[in-house]
Amino acid sequence: MTTTKDFALFGAPPAFDKPIPIGQLYFPSAQRYEAAFRGIFERQYYTEYGPLNRQLEQNLQQFLGVKHAICVANETVALMMVANAMELTGKVILPAFNHIAAVQSLSWAGLEPVFCDVDPATHQIDIDQVSKLIDQDVSAILGVNLWGGVCDVKALAKLAKDSGVQLYFDSAHAFGCAVDGVRIGNFGRAEVLSFHQSNILNATEGGCICTNDDELAAKLRVMRSSAGAGSVPATVNKTVNGRMSEAQSAIALMGLEDFSANQRNNEILFELYKAQLAKISGLRLFKPKGVSFSNYQNVVCQISEAEFGLSRDRLIALLKAENVDARPCFHLGVHRDIPHSQHQLPETDSLSTSCIQLPIGALVSAQSVLKICDILARAHQASTTINARSSQDSIGVR
């Protein structure tokens, strides 16, 4: 029988010698990177739409089946650029269950966020609620595709069209995912992808704007560099420094070559989690919905404290002690980060306080997943004694 003595939180040696990270953290070998970097040094061309950047954009366009893939220094800048290039005004509706960069991009673009709640079954934007929030001050909907799943992109497109507002997407988590065989990058007027290292395709930092709209693409290419650039003339009212370096492009090019292998690795680990977690009551694994193909880049689990026996925060403390980098999803819904927010978003609040992210990706082995699931099973079994001992030591208490 498991006792508290078996957990690192109470003095046992940790299950892992070094931290098992959340993921994705895929990087090519140092040897491959050095070969690419030697080319950059030989050409003496380091930034601003260089040859590797051009190649990356071409390869992305082909891979995604999209007309324009415009690579940018990071996703926040990309979202700012799109909001400006689409000439948005007033308010923009977006889900609060998301990372804060999307809200911040609106703020820098002089726009006001209107937060909507999410569907607890899918974690994605609640379209009925979006429809109720549209008024004459709303110029756009910023859809979000979370955790390798997607929202109902077609219903959202219909709603936007019928309401006369624009639609674009923050698809940070959705690189490579497809809806009925069409890759993410092709929906709304534009979609923004993140190439942060926590995503399946990374450029260390980086982002990409995808669009099939020639006029918008021309504007974005001019906006990307302070001094303007782009072969198609376009008039913009602002530029920014959104240039992606050759070093960033080199990493992303190799990651794109290895996308299939990385996706497959994620899928195997995800299936392992699914099989193991199904045996533990009180843990509900998020399963990507709405996609014909997923990148399986995130493992997100909702905890029912009543069934599992431990609170989310206490479980995180327990896992961290074992060197498992478990985390809340987005700290709190971003509506909580906005001073004096009047938004009431019960589903977002509930998911924000009951979900954890677990490790998956390039630095996580199948054996590690089994070990993590074993800790979870034992934590469930010993939950009563863990709670008693933790309360005594004030562990996992906010």
Q: Contact positions toward a second copy, by CB under 8 A?
A: 25, 27, 30, 33-34, 37-38, 41, 44, 46-47, 73-77, 80, 99-101, 104, 107-110, 196-197, 204-205, 226-227, 237-241, 243, 245-248, 331, 339, 363
Between 248 and 352, CB nearer to a second copy: 248
Kindly tell me which of 100 and 157 has the beta carbon lying closer to a second copy.
Answer: 100
d(CA 49, CA 43): 13
Closer residue to a second copy in complex, CB, 77/174: 77
Closest separation between CB of residue 240 and a second copy, Å? Answer: 6
Comparing CB distances to a second copy, the nearer of 196 and 221 is 196
Q: Report the nearest approach of a second copy to the CB of residue 107 (Å).
A: 5
Smallest separation (angstroms) from a second copy to the CB of 239: 5
**Using alpha carbons only, what angle is made at residue 285 by residues 284 and 287, rounded to the nearest 5 degrees?**
130
Smallest separation (angstroms) from a second copy to the CB of 226: 4
Which amino acid type is present at position 362? A
Report the distance separating Cα 324 and Cα 305, nearest Å.
Answer: 20
Question: Which tokens sit at 9?
Answer: 């939180």
Residue whose C-alpha is closest to residue 115's, from 92, 96, 89: 96
CA distances 375 to 33, 309, 327, 370, Å, are 36, 14, 16, 9
Q: Is 389 exposed, middle or buried (0-12, 13-18, 19+ CB in 10 A)?
A: middle
Minimum distance, C-beta of residue 380 to a second copy, in the bound complex (Å): 30
Closest approach of a second copy to the CB of residue 7, in Å: 27
C-alpha closest to that of 167 among 179, 178, 156, 180? 156
Cα–Cα distance between 15 and 12 in angstroms, integer?
A: 9
Q: What are phi and psi of 166, to 5 degrees?
A: -85, 160
Residue 192 Cβ, how far from a second copy at the closest point, in Å? 12
Burial letters 189-201, b for 16+ CB under 10 A, else e:
bbbbbbbbbbbbb
Q: Is residue 303 a contact partner of residue 396, using CB atoms and an 8 Å limit? A: no
* Beta bridge partner(s), residue 72: 207
Decide: 124 and 149 in contact? Cβ < 8 Å.
yes
Is 202 or 383 the residue whose CB approaches a second copy more closely? Answer: 202
Nearer residue to a second copy within complex by CB, 45 or 259: 45
The sheet with strand 112-116 has its strands ordered as 68-72, 207-211, 190-194, 166-170, 138-144, 91-95, 112-116
Shortest approach of a second copy to residue 281 CB, angstroms? 32
3-class DSSP assignment, residue 72: strand
- For residues 34 and 215, which CB has a smaller minimum distance to a second copy in the complex? 34
The DSSP annotation for 288-341 comes to --S-SB-----EEEEE-HHHHSS-HHHHHHHHHHTTB--EESSSS-GGGTSTT-
CA gap 197, 30 in Å, rounded: 16
Q: Which CB atom, from 60 or from 251, has the smaller least distance to a second copy?
A: 251
CB of 89 to a second copy, least distance (A): 14
Q: Which is nearer to a second copy, 100 or 155 (CB)?
A: 100
Q: In residues, how long is the chain?
A: 398
C-beta of 106: minimal distance to a second copy in Å? 10
Q: Which is nearer to a second copy, 182 or 247 (CB)?
A: 247
